[in-house]
Structure 1
Amino acid sequence: MKYMDYKIIRKKHQTWGIIMDLIHVPVNTNALSEGRDVREDAKENSLLLKSANENKFSKYSIDDYLVIMDKRALDRECLAQALTTHHIGLKVKTCGSLQEWQASDKHVPGLRAVLINTGNRNLDDDELSTEICELVAAFHNIAVVVVADHDDLTSVLRALELGVQGYIPTTVGVEICMQAIELAIAGGKFVPASSVLALRKLVGGRSDEFRHITTSFTARQSAVAEGLRRGKANKIIAYELNLCESTVKVHIRNIMKKLGATNRTEVAYKISDMIPRESRL
Structure 2
Amino acid sequence: MVAVIEPRVLFSQCLLAALRSLDRESIFRIYHSVADWQDAPDRSDAAIVLLCMPSGEGSDAALAAAEQGLTELQALEPPVMFAVMSDREEPERILKALESGARAYIPTSVSLEVAVQILHLVIVGGIFVPASSLVAMASFNGTKIVSEVEDTFSLSARQLSVAKALRKGMPNKLIAYELNMCESTVKVHVRNIMKKLKAKNRTEAALLSNRLFSEDK
**Interval of TM-score (by shorter of Structure 1 and Structure 2):** 0.5 to 0.7
- Per the alignment, in what secondary structure is the counterpart of residue 155 of structure 1? helix
Alignment partner of 2:114 out of 176, 181, 197: 176
User: Are 1:145 and 2:80 an aligned pair?
Assistant: no
Shift in CA distance, 165/129, structure 1 to aligned 2, threshold 3 Å: same
Q: Deviations over 1:63-102 (max 9, x none)?
A: xx11110110111221121111112631110110122223
Equivalents in 2 of 1:91, 1:136: separation in Å?
Answer: 23
| Paired AA for residue 85 in structure 1 | S
Which residues of 2 match residues 181-220 of structure 1 at below 5 A?
A: 181-199=119-137, 202=139
Gaps of 5+ in 1: 1-64, 204-281
Q: Deviations over 1:225-251 (max 9, x none)?
A: xxxxxxxxxxxxxxxxxxxxxxxxxxx
User: Are 1:83 and 2:1 an aligned pair?
Assistant: no
Count of residue correspondences: 135
Shift in CA distance, 88/113, structure 1 to aligned 2, threshold 3 Å: farther
- Point out the structure with max Rg over C-alpha: 1
TM-score scaled by structure 1? 0.44
Equivalents in 2 of 1:195, 1:139: separation in Å?
Answer: 30
Identity across matched positions, percent: 29
Which residues of 2 match residues 95-114 of structure 1 at below 5 A?
A: 95-107=31-43, 109-114=44-49
Alignment partner of 1:121 out of 42, 45, 56: 56
Shift in CA distance, 131/85, structure 1 to aligned 2, threshold 3 Å: same
Tell me the C-alpha RMSD between the 2 structures: 2.4
By how many angstroms is 1:182 displaced? 1.1
Gaps of 5+ in 2: 58-62, 141-217
| Paired AA for residue 94 in structure 1 | I
- Do 1:152 and 1:194's aligned partners in 2 also have CA atoms closer than 8 Å? no
TM-score scaled by structure 2? 0.55
Residue 241 of structure 1 is matched in structure 2 by none
- Per the alignment, in what secondary structure is the counterpart of residue 189 of structure 1? coil
- Do 2:92 and 2:137's aligned partners in 1 also have CA atoms closer than 8 Å? no
Q: Deviations over 1:116-146 (max 9, x none)?
A: 1012138xx7654332121133364432110
Equivalents in 1 of 2:5, 2:97: separation in Å?
Answer: 16
| Paired AA for residue 83 in structure 1 | L
User: Are 1:134 and 2:134 an aligned pair?
Assistant: no
Equivalents in 2 of 1:166, 1:88: separation in Å?
Answer: 22
Q: Deviations over 1:180-216 (max 9, x none)?
A: 111211122111122124347x59xxxxxxxxxxxxx
- The ranges of structure 1 where at least 4 consecutive aligned residues each deviate by more than 6 angstroms after the TM superposition are none
Equivalents in 1 of 2:13, 2:126: separation in Å?
Answer: 26
Structure with the largest fraction of helix: 2
